[in-house]
Amino acid sequence: MRRVNHVGRPDRICLALPTNRACSATIAAIGEEAAYAARHFDVEVHLLILDSCDDATRAAHARAVAELPAVPHVIVHHLGEAEQRDLLRDVIQRSGIADGGAMLRLLLPADVSYGACTNRAFLIAAALGCRSVHRRDSDSTYQCPDGTPLFPIHHELRSLGRPAAEASAGVTETLLDPAHAERPVSMVGSSFIGELSVDIGEIARLDPGVHHDVVSLWAPADWPETSKRQLVEESFTGAGSARFTEDHSTLTVVDPMRVDMCNISFDHAVYERVPLPPATSTIGSDYFLIHLVHDAALPGVLHNRTIENFYTPQRRTDTGFVAYQTRFVKFLLSMLYFHHVYARMAAAGDALLDHRGHVRADTVVEFLRESTGLDRAENVWRLDRVDTSYRKLGGRYEAFADLLAPRREQLLDEAERDMADFALLTGAWARLVRAARDRGPRSAGG
């Protein structure tokens, strides 16, 4: 399946692994996926490892990279934060954006940001001349039902970027409105099996009622109880425990609840127009493009090569528990704003696209800015519910509620500011992408 660019060379793709934890085994595994892609699809694979770890862990990762077998058409880039910062400063300067310091903080913040690390992958992919980004996570691994890894890139490269009418020949079934058949496949993804994507399983074991109360807080406040209950049952479970038996893929407008960011790929026509939210210490901040693709009725492929999710030991420590629960609470607060934006995008439908079928970034910016003026009362209510629920659980959950109480106003401010920052970044994104492309791949690591 040969795909070449206008000068006859294989297309470039970016297989991205952002990490802030030790993951040498994952680097070895994703190296195998890169090799699989190059061998079976005749693409040039740029394996991009964005490393936010401490010096010792990053050195171990460098050794893991050095041990990867040399494979034709696979190029590995291992960038620590210092290298990423230098590259971003250059891109920002080339873009002509006035407040470069503020933009750099949105792209490389001091705190954990799931959206920002993927945005860096998008910009570096643009600099490398890649046509797609394929993202994996460092706390997951591939299923190996017969000893052979199941690489999601198998389905991703069969369909991504192709007109839907053409891609339909390579999938198991097509459930797509014929009116969208000429649109390109903009996203290919799947989900995960294993541990919950959000570490709240202990809450369900301690008190199912509290679990329902807490998880239902990410639904719109005006949803009926039956809808909230269904959401709670499906939330953060991925594909459950259903292990792989045989390949199945569906060409459709993909339901955002059926895919996860550990197992996703996007065509450049999506991520080069709209970035991900740069919110810090907020789980779920990297899922926005999944909703955008859905609401714009851009074709996607849902496949069943699920990835296996696992928890790393740090999450079980006292420090890890507090950090993770804070990210969960900030996720709940972000939903006040995102539900507004999602509703506006769903109502806009085809109006999200220009005459070429490309996402209108200015329309998205308008919706984001609107959301920052919402009444915070709903989020005050969410914080009240979290406080009551966690105190019912007692122990470390009650201790966490004590830590949260004096931060209420700060958290409310941060949730609103995160959306304003997202609007700012989205408004500047086209200039950043153009500057990255113009800059090219020099000094991109590797």
Q: What's the whole-number average pLDDT of the chain? A: 93
Cα separation of 365 and 437, whole Å? 22
- Give residue-wise pLDDT tens across range 186-219: 999 999 887 766 777 889 899 999 999 999 999 9
Whether the Cβ atoms of residue 164 and residue 179 lie closer than 8 Å to each other: no
What pLDDT score does 443 carry? 57
Does 299 have pLDDT greater than 60?
A: yes
Amino acid letter for position 333:
L
Write the DSSP symbol of residue 182.
T
What backbone phi and psi angles, to 5 degrees, belong to 392?
-65, -35
Location of structure tokens 């999710």: 309
Q: What is the token pair recorded at 190?
A: 């799947």
Say if residue 323 is exposed, middle or buried (CB neighbours under 10 Å; 0-12, 13-18, 19+): middle
Does 273 have pLDDT greater than 90?
A: yes
Specify the CATH architecture of the domain 12-439: Alpha-Beta Complex (3.90)
- b/e per residue, 368-383, with b = 16+ CB within 10 A? bbebbeeebebbeebb
What pLDDT score does 202 carry? 86
What backbone phi and psi angles, to 5 degrees, belong to 361?
-65, -35
Write the DSSP symbol of residue 10.
B
Looking at 194-198, 366-370, 437-441, which range is the least confident one? 194-198
What backbone phi and psi angles, to 5 degrees, belong to 389?
-65, -45
- Give residue-wise pLDDT tens across range 314-348: 667 778 889 989 999 999 999 999 999 999 999 99
Cα separation of 251 and 66, whole Å? 38
pTM over 0.85: yes
H helix intervals, 312-407: 318-348, 361-371, 377-393, 395-404
Please give the distance of CA 27 from its chain centroid, rounded to a whole number.
19
Cα separation of 133 and 166, whole Å? 21
Domain spans in the chain, listed from the N-terminal domain onward: 12-439
- Give residue-wise pLDDT tens across range 87-113: 999 999 999 999 999 999 999 999 999
Looking at 177-186, 213-222, 272-281, 306-315, which range is the least confident one? 306-315
